[in-house]
C-alpha cells in the first residue's frame, strides 16, 4: 500500500537520503533500524511531506510525494514523531481531541467511539483523562502520543522511536499495544534504534546506514544474519 522509490531527501544543500526504496503492505509491521544519523527520522519526514525530496512515494496507488503534510495526514498516514510532542498544558482528553479535530476535522462533541477505542487500548489514559499531559510519566506520554494518532483513524501509523527514554518494563507494555493496534488492521512503519525489539515484532525490516538501505528482508532472517547480529545485536550475541 505504501511504496517508496528512489527517495533522496535534503536539508538545504545536504543530501540526507541517497535513493531509498521501501514498501509497507496492508497488514504489516515494517521496521526501519539503524544507528544515530542513519536517516530513519528523515525517511518518515519524507513520507509525511515535511522535507524537500525527490523520488516517488505512493499510497494505495496515489502519488503523495508532491502533497502537503496536511493532505497526507488527512489521507490517513499519521506520524507520531520522536519525542512525543504532546501538549503539556492540555489534559489527556484534550490532547486526544486534538487528534480528531486536526486530522479529521471532527468536533469535540463527536469523539465517542474513537475515544473509547483509545481508552480500551490504554486503560491508564482513561484513568488519567482529566490530568494535564505534563504530569504523565514518559511511558504514559508515549501512549498519549500514539492514542492521539489513533484518534485520526490511521490507515498507516508511523512511529518514530517509541521506546526512547523508557524503562524496559514500560517498553514491553508499549510494544504489546503496538502489536495490538496492528492486529486491529492498522499497518505500522516503526523506526527504532532498538533493533532486537523492532525485529521481534515486525514481519520485515530495513537497515539504514548513511542514508541508504544496506540490508532488508524478513525480520526473523535478519535476526539470524551474522552481519546484523554483529552490528546491531551485540548484547544478544554476548549473552548467547
Q: What is the distance in angstroms between the CA of the first residue and the CA of the last residue of the chain? A: 37
Extract long-range pairs of 170-174: CB within 8 Å, 24+ residues apart. Answer: 170/137, 170/138, 170/139, 171/197, 173/139, 174/139, 174/142, 174/143, 174/146
For residue 190, the SS3 value is strand
Least spacing, CB of residue 21 vs ligand ATP, in Å:
17
Whether residue 88 contacts residue 131, with contact meaning beta carbons closer than 8 Å, is answered with: no
Q: Which of residues 2-31 bind ligand ATP (CB under 6 A)?
A: 11, 14, 16
Judged by CB, which is closer to ligand ATP: 39, or 99? 39
Q: Is 39 in the site for ligand ATP (CB under 6 A)?
A: yes
Least spacing, CB of residue 171 vs ligand ATP, in Å:
16
For residue 93, the SS3 value is helix
**Which one among 2, 4, 28, 34 touches ligand ATP, defined by CB under 6 A?**
34
Judged by CB, which is closer to ligand ATP: 42, or 219? 42
Least spacing, CB of residue 96 vs ligand ATP, in Å:
26
Give the sheet arrangement for strand 52-59, strand by strand.
Answer: 14-24, 2-11, 52-59, 62-63
**Which one among 22, 24, 29, 40 touches ligand ATP, defined by CB under 6 A?**
40
Least spacing, CB of residue 46 vs ligand ATP, in Å:
9
Q: Is 138 in the site for ligand ATP (CB under 6 A)?
A: no
Judged by CB, which is closer to ligand ATP: 39, or 152? 39
Whether residue 191 contacts residue 41, with contact meaning beta carbons closer than 8 Å, is answered with: yes
Which among 45, 44, 145 has a CA at the least distance from the CA of 88? 145
Least spacing, CB of residue 42 vs ligand ATP, in Å:
3
Q: Which of residues 190-209 bind ligand ATP (CB under 6 A)?
A: 193
Q: Is 36 in the site for ligand ATP (CB under 6 A)?
A: yes
What residues have CB less than 8 Å from 10, skipping those under 6 apart?
Answer: 16, 51, 52, 53
Judged by CB, which is closer to ligand ATP: 11, or 134? 11
Judged by CB, which is closer to ligand ATP: 175, or 206? 206
Residue 232 CA to residue 210 CA, distance in Å, equals 15
- Residues in touch with ligand ATP (CB under 6 A): 11, 14, 16, 34, 36-42, 193
Amino acid at each position: 500500500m505504501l511504496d517508496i522509490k528512489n527517495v533522496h531527501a535534503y536539508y538545504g544543500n545536504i543530501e540526507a537520503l541517497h535513493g531509498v526504496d521501501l514498501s509497507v503492505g496492508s497488514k504489516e509491521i515494517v521496521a526501519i533500524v539503524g544507528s544515530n544519523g542513519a536517516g530513519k527520522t528523515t525517511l518518515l519526514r519524507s513520507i509525511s511531506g515535511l522535507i524537500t525530496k525527490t523520488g516517488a512515494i505512493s499510497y494505495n496507488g496515489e502519488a503523495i510525494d508532491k502533497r502537503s503534510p496536511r493532505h497526507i495526514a488527512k489521507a490517513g498516514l499519521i506520524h507520531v514523531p520522536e519525542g512525543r510532542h504532546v501538549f503539556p498544558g492540555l489534559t489527556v482528553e484534550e490532547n486526544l481531541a486534538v487528534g480528531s479535530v486536526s486530522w479529521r476535522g471532527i468536533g469535540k462533541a463527536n469523539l465517542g467511539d474513537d475515544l473509547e477505542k483509545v481508552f480500551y487500548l490504554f486503560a491508564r489514559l482513561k484513568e488519567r483523562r482529566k490530568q494535564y499531559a505534563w504530569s504523565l510519566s514518559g511511558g504514559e506520554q508515549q501512549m498519549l502520543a500514539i492514542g492521539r494518532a489513533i484518534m485520526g483513524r490511521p490507515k498507516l501509523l508511523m512511529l518514530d522511536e517509541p521506546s526512547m527514554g523508557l524503562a524496559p518494563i514500560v517498553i514491553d507494555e508499549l510494544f504489546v499495544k503496538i502489536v495490538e493496534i496492528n492486529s486491529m488492521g492498522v499497518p505500522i512503519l516503526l523506526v527504532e534504534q532498538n533493533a532486537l525489539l523492532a525485529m521481534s515484532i515486525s514481519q520485515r525490516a530495513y537497515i539504514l546506514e548513511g542514508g541508504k538501505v544496506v540490508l532488508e528482508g524478513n525480520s526473523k532472517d535478519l535476526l539470524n544474519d551474522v552481519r546484523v547480529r554483529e552490528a546491531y545485536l551485540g548484547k544478544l550475541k554476548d549473552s548467547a
